[in-house]
């Protein structure tokens, strides 16, 4: 119709399909307009067939679903990939759908979100400190939280989920805040005329209490989510545990790693600042 094609499927009434002989006597018109029985036009053969045929991208498909108990999607995927070649005949292929497909899409989106967050944080810090080195010093502390996240999930038997990913993005900001406290105090001490080593030591000493206070306040806020009950506990608990583990590991390591990186990178940062000032004057 109007250049468009439509698939039309005709089906005989059930009462006429109960007996093969009834189908054989079905009459159709030939080109001459005469009624002819199907029995005289075609040959009937009995075979086993499918009640319905489903297709995906014009290929036949069979969907297999199952419930997962006492294991994770990653473990199931690994076992399927290891054994599927021994089950499927030649010429057959398979793909994952459902929760596994959603997990793959979520992982891809999470990677893009983390990358965007890191870029934005770096640009903001570079503009605030007027330096390309000090934002790097601050952002070194961010991966330190991943150790605590992995350890917390492993010890509690939780899986890496969408809510854990949200918790990690939240951690990036909180961990960066601790490093900013140390770096900012050290910068002010150096501007007041103190040596680099003395400024770093004073920054670690004076900023220790604020860092611990904010860290333990956040951990205290996460404890009800991690160990409490109620609706949504199964989803919120892994996120809260990941945040607690990430805060503990990053707080300890930040107070050790950030001052060391600051001391190593300070000469380069000072040289770049002097070079920039010379170019600006020239």
List, for residues 99-111, the tens digit of each pLDDT value.
Answer: 777 777 877 887 8
Contacts 24+ apart (CB under 8 A), 119-123: 121/172, 121/173, 121/176
Look at 161 and 198; give whichever has higher pLDDT.
198
State whether residue 195 is helix, strand or coil: coil
- Percent of the chain at pLDDT > 70 equals 96
Q: What is the pLDDT of residue 33?
A: 83
Q: Is the pLDDT of residue 116 over 80?
A: yes
Q: Is the pLDDT of residue 282 over 70?
A: no
Which token pair is 204?
Answer: 């670690």
Tell me if the pTM is above 0.85. no
Rounded Cα gap, residues 170 and 243, in angstroms? 8
Which token pair is 99?
Answer: 């929760």
pLDDT in tens, 64-100: 888 777 666 777 788 888 888 888 888 888 888 877 7
Instruction: Find the angle CA(193)-CA(200)-CA(117) to the nearest 5 degrees.
Output: 115
Domain 99-281 classification at class level: mainly alpha
- Would you kindly state where each structural domain of the chain is located, as residue ranges? 99-281
pLDDT in tens, 142-170: 887 888 888 988 888 877 777 888 888 88
| Strand ranges inside the chain, DSSP E | 27-29, 35-37, 54-56, 59-61
Q: What is the pLDDT of residue 114?
A: 80
Q: Which residues contact 253 (CB under 8 A, 6 or more apart)?
A: 141, 144, 147
Q: What is the pLDDT of residue 232?
A: 66
Reported confidence tier of residue 281, pLDDT bands at 50, 70, 90: low
1-5, 143-147, 191-195: lowest mean pLDDT where?
Answer: 1-5
Return mean pLDDT, the chain.
Answer: 83
Q: Is the pLDDT of residue 28 over 80?
A: yes
CA end-to-end distance (rounded Å), the chain: 77
């Amino acid at each position: 119709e109007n250049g468009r094609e439509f698939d039309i499927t005709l089906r005989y009434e059930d009462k006429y399909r109960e007996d093969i002989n009834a189908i054989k006597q079905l009459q159709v018109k030939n080109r001459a307009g005469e009624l002819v029985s199907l029995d005289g036009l075609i040959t009937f053969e009995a075979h086993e067939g499918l009640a319905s045929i489903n297709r995906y991208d014009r290929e036949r498909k069979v969907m297999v679903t199952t419930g997962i108990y006492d294991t994770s999607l990653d473990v199931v995927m690994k076992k399927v990939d290891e054994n599927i070649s021994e089950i499927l005949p030649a010429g057959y292929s398979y793909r994952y759908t459902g929760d596994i497909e959603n997990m793959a899409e979520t992982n891809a989106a999470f990677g893009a979100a983390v990358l965007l967050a890191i870029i934005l944080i770096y640009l903001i810090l570079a503009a605030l400190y007027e330096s390309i080195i000090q934002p790097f010093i601050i952002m070194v502390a961010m991966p330190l939280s991943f150790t605590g996240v992995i350890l917390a999930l492993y010890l509690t038997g939780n899986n890496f989920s969408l809510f854990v990913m949200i918790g990690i993005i939240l951690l990036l900001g909180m961990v960066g805040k601790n490093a900013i406290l140390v770096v900012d105090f050290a910068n002010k001490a150096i501007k007041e005329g103190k040596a680099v080593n003395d400024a770093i030591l004073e920054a670690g000493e004076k900023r220790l209490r604020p860092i611990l206070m904010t860290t333990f306040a956040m951990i205290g806020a996460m404890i009800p989510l991690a160990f409490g009950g109620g609706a949504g506990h199964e989803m919120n608990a892994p996120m809260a545990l990941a945040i607690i583990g990430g805060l503990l590991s990053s707080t300890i390591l930040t107070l050790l790693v950030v001052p060391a990186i600051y001391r190593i990178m300070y000469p380069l940062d000072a040289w770049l600042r002097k070079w920039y000032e010379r170019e600006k004057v020239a």
